[in-house]
Amino acid sequence: MTEVVSKEEILRPSPNLDDALNKNPHFKRYLDEVRARGMNPIYVEQLSRDMRYLKEIDLIYPVGDPIFIHIYSQEGDERAIYHPVEPTIPDEVKELRTIIEDAIGLVIDESYDYEDEEEHRQLLYKAIDEVIQVDNSIPTIADYQVIDKGDKIYIRMNQEGYNTLRYILDKEKIGLGILEPLIRDPYIEDITCGGIGPIFIEHKIFSSCRTTLEFRKEDELNDYIIKLSERIGKPASYRRPIIDGTLPDNSRINIVYGRDVSINGSNFTIRKFTARPLSVIQLCLWNTMSFLEAAYIWMLLENGMSLWVCGETASGKTTTLKAIVAFIKPNAKIVSIEDTPEVVCPHENWTREVTREGEDEGSSVQMFDLLKAALRQRPNYIIVGEIRGAEGSVAFQAMQTGHPVMATFHAASVEKLIQRLTGSPIDIPKTYIDNLNAVIIQSAVRLPQTGMVERRVLSINEIVGYDPIANRFNFIELFSWEATDDSHIFRGEGMSYLLEEKIATMKGLSLREKRKIYDELFLREKILRLMAENSIIDYYDVWDALKTINKIGLEEAYERLSRRGSLK
């Protein structure tokens, strides 16, 4: 059993702390303050998964100047405390922000027009530069000077004051206000505000954390939620209290407004969007799946099989789907269909479609509508972000007519999947079920070796078909996960229906030769392992490698990786 390791074994303080302190006086003041209270946080520039095993947490990491995150354990609290360290205006000069905003209002005219967020930011900075004059002879931000010239107001302050005001105005006018540090932190998966009180996050390394950010008054929370909903173009109201939408960074947000539908009042949940997906190699290195399972999935997707990733909430379905999409042939035409855009395809010929909510039924565009439209676009693959209802029947019609479909689905087992597919509202005929070739079942599990919660592919299953005489569905669990030693078990050669009866036939192998298909499976596994050993891990590095392999062939790819450690 793995022992919990100490801070000294995992943490290596960054040598760049002095630079960070010199550039960010607010950070230096904070560090001096917590050290005076007896804390001694270690400054690290990047987090590693090994940090999950720390007995006690007390570290600070940057998420981009001028924001730093102090995360630490607190006695009596089962969660770690998450505290953003950011520039603030001292309480004694709170009126300064109003003065600055009034001054900016005098210089903004119709020429300050913008089309996107970055243009908005540059225009804001231009306005700030017109009203703030930097004078480093001024000792502190509290010693600012106001120069009123009637038609214009100038504010003289030191460099730190200028930087602070610029950050605060950017955060409030362009960013998401109180949530801005959380949005910028790449290690956060989910943000939850359940009402009045602290905001909670799900951290990729330290799991559930309580932040020091909070809403103290109901009116304050309601005002923030209304602004947030207007920002995504779906204003919340008592008439329309439940909102699903997408933030500017493509993160998914759910809003519930008011006490009419929520006993504890308004609340919201944000599912963070990751711009650069995890690669399948990274998932293998984390043991989410084995290299052999990845090689098998590679064979299925390269040969046009329909594959669904199933599991319960927060099981990592979408992460896995995004990772394995790279196995689809590079020249394929792909159409993705989602409620909220999350799927990322590296392919050039990718059509991305999303649903639309309208004021009335006729103006809405649902998953069902988009899926029907996709059938007319002649894609090589259709990817559905999540199948929940009637669109499932269209997905099966697509598979029936030779359009492979990848999708995520909320089901914890093959039996539950089939039960939902054949029941209302999807109502797939039992004899159609084998149009779905394979199913990945994934879950978040607590490992007995470490006690940590991890995502694991529990099984990969081949759907063989429906036996009307026995009234049962036949499927083969080709791969399964063994909890006792955290291993992935392959049932062995001769067990795969898809490899032997479908893919081997497509490759022109005779009955005598069909077992050779397993040689290809094991060769692909070796190639994936060599990619990991040669640090081909980043999502787009993996994609480039797969494109090269598609051109030069498996044997040549294996030869190059074995001898050169590179595909070039």
Averaged over 66-93, what is the pLDDT?
94
Averaged over 509-530, what is the pLDDT?
94
Parallel, antiparallel, or unpaired: how do β-strands 42-43 and 58-62 relate?
Answer: parallel
pLDDT at 92 over 50: yes
Averaged over 95-101, what is the pLDDT?
91
Q: Rounded to an integer, what distance in angstroms lies between the CA atom of residue 6 and that of residue 406? A: 43
Which strand (E) or helix (H) includes residue 505?
helix 504-506
Q: Rounded to an integer, what distance in angstroms lies between the CA atom of residue 259 and that of residue 243? A: 15
Average of per-residue pLDDT values in the chain = 92
Q: Which amino acid is at 125?
A: Y
CB crowding 517-532: b at 16 or more within 10 Å, else e: bbebbeebbbbbbbbb
Could you tell me what percent of the chain has a pLDDT over 70?
97
For 297-347, write each residue's pLDDT tens digit: 999 999 999 999 999 988 999 999 999 999 999 999 999 998 878 889 999
Per-residue pLDDT at 361 = 62
- Could you tell me how far CA 380 lies from the centroid of its own chain? 26
Q: What band does 1 get if pLDDT is binned at 50, 70 and 90?
A: very low
User: Using an 8 Å Cβ cutoff, are 86 and 179 in contact?
Assistant: no
Per-residue pLDDT at 3 = 43
Q: Rounded to an integer, what distance in angstroms lies between the CA atom of residue 203 and that of residue 452? A: 13
For 478-504, write each residue's pLDDT tens digit: 999 999 999 999 999 899 999 999 999
pLDDT at 515 over 50: yes
- How many CB atoms within 10 Å of residue 98? 9
Averaged over 424-441, what is the pLDDT?
93
Residue among 385, 381, 297, 312 nearest 344 (CA): 385
Give the domains, in start order, of the chain with CATH numbers: 283-495 (3.40.50.300)
Query: Sign of the C-alpha dihedral, residues 109, 110, 116, 122?
Result: negative
pLDDT at 250 over 90: no
Q: Rounded to an integer, what distance in angstroms lies between the CA atom of residue 71 and that of residue 74? A: 10
Averaged over 85-103, what is the pLDDT?
91
Q: Rounded to an integer, what distance in angstroms lies between the CA atom of residue 316 and that of residue 294? A: 15
CB crowding 60-97: b at 16 or more within 10 Å, else e: bbbbeebbbbbbbeeeeeebbbbbbbbbebeeebeebe
Averaged over 541-561, what is the pLDDT?
97
pLDDT at 142 over 50: yes
User: Using an 8 Å Cβ cutoff, are 74 and 81 in contact?
Assistant: yes
For 225-245, write each residue's pLDDT tens digit: 999 999 888 899 999 999 988
pLDDT at 2 over 50: no
Q: What band does 246 get if pLDDT is binned at 50, 70 and 90?
A: confident
CB-based contacts of 48, cutoff 8 Å, min separation 6: 10, 205
For 368-427, write each residue's pLDDT tens digit: 888 888 888 999 999 998 898 888 888 998 998 889 999 999 999 999 999 999 998 899
Q: Which residues pair with 475 in a beta bridge?
A: 463
Q: Tell me which residue has tokens 């689809």.
A: 328
Q: Lowest-pLDDT range, 86-95, 159-168, 194-203?
A: 86-95
Residue among 398, 393, 354, 366 nearest 379 (CA): 398
Per-residue pLDDT at 6 = 53
Per-residue pLDDT at 38 = 94
Two tokens, residue 535? 């640090």
Two tokens, residue 512? 């005598």
Q: Rounded to an integer, what distance in angstroms lies between the CA atom of residue 199 and that of residue 177? A: 13
